[in-house]
């Protein structure tokens, strides 16, 4: 029951992180880094995790 309560409490943050994760992956896939020297967009895992972090942070700015 506690897990359900915590998930319900943070559902918008989780949704924001998932949307950011997908957006970060799509950014890597379609725009990415041509030279491979970009620290965030050179690998899909970096880009996806960075997108998830930004998605969660952006959603949290709208919370009371």
Q: Is the predicted pLDDT of residue 19 greater than 80, yes or no?
A: yes
Contacts of 49 (CB under 8 A, 6+ apart): 21, 24
Phi-psi region of 33 (alpha: psi -120 to 50; beta: other; left: phi over 0): beta
Task: Tell me what percent of the residues of the chain surpass a pLDDT of 90.
Answer: 64
pTM score over 0.95:
no
3-state class (DSSP) for residue 62: coil
* Domain count along the chain: 1
Domain housing 50: 2-60
The per-residue pLDDT for 24 is: 95
Q: How many C-alpha atoms does 9 have within 13 Å on its Cβ side?
A: 6
């Amino acid at each position: 029951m506690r897990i359900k309560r915590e998930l319900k409490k943070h559902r918008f943050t989780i949704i924001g992180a998932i949307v950011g994760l997908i957006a970060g992956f799509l950014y890597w896939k379609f725009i990415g880094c041509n030279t491979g020297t970009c620290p965030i967009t050179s690998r899909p895992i970096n880009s996806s995790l960075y997108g998830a972090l930004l998605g969660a942070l952006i959603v949290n700015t709208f919370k009371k």
